Amino acid sequence: MTAKIVVGTRGSKLALWQAEHVAGRLRRRYPDAAVSLKHILTTGDKILDVPLAKIGGKGLFTKELEKELLAGGIDLAVHSLKDMPTALPPGLVLAAVTERVDPGDALISPKYGTLANLPRGARVGTSSLRRKAQLLAARPDLAIADLRGNLDTRLAKLASRELDAIVLAVAGLARLGWQDRITEVLPRDICLPAVGQGALAIEARAGDERVLGLLAFLHHEETAAAVTAERAFLHEVEGGCQVPIGVFGRIEGAALVLDAVILSGDGRTRLKDAVSGPPADAAALGRTLARRMYAAGGREILAGLVGYGRDKEDADE
């Protein structure tokens, strides 16, 4: 009997690329399967004129997909892992995490090229508090402008809004074949990435053994260990709002190394730390580092953020 697999996705160009990538791998693995895509509009796609930090809420780019999953309208949902809440709705599981591509942040500045070359007071566009805080930590003279929209929209605004530079994820640009637009990949000592950046998450129903079995081959263990540590860190420190933290885990030899930074919104206060240990202890490592940084001053830094601490038990992206 031919298997039917319905893949849920957002409708942006990048989301469609990611869903098609997963669908293509499923088709190659299971040539007799009927794999189709279903486009679903999310809250984050509907509200494009308000900064993400002001919208608040949880799962801005995932909730509608998750409702469709629970209702049985789709068999799996493909997300950018960095959009995934750290706590999933009852009945859903993170079925697979794909191998991570470059998790870095890219500066795009046709005129100036690099962060160091930007003139004093240069206007830099980003929708991320994490990027804003880290950019200001390195260059407090910059003027950060909020920048929402899909990748192609943001690239178009680089010229139309008279911005001197914008910052986007390397992975998204590379997936769409736009890596030639990158003028500098920001060093990690300046800008640590978002939790899960560069990896894809595939969400499915808990107990759906058919679909979970079909997806098993897509799971990449090393990436999964790294992002498990990152997500555990975020879950420990996050409140009910976007928070300016960067976290990056990777496997070095036999160890999992996790670096993290917690910043004030203006980047003037910055706390950095790292931890390492066995990959099997990924979640514990993330929690340990978070608690250590929280006790070392992270609590006070985050307490100064508007909205921090609300709904902490349901920590989100």
Query: Is the CB of residue 300 less than 8 Å from the CB of residue 167?
Result: no
Rounded to an integer, what distance in angstroms lies between the CA atom of residue 230 and that of residue 197? 10
In this structure, the number of other CB atoms found within 10 A of the CB of residue 271 comes to 18
Torsion angle (degrees, nearest 10) of CA 265, 266, 272, 278: 30
For the CA atoms of 45, 80, 241, 226, what is the dihedral angle to 10 degrees? 180
Q: Which of 75, 83, 208, 259 is catalytic?
A: 83
- Active-site annotation holds for 83: yes
Residue 23, CA distances (Å) to 4, 34, 35, 165 in order: 12, 10, 6, 34
- In terms of Cβ atoms closer than 10 Å to its own Cβ (0-12, 13-18, 19+), residue 316 is buried
User: Within the chain, how many helices (H) and strands (E) appear?
Assistant: 11, 13
Give the other-Cβ count within 10 Å of 98's Cβ.
21
Residues carrying an active site annotation? 83
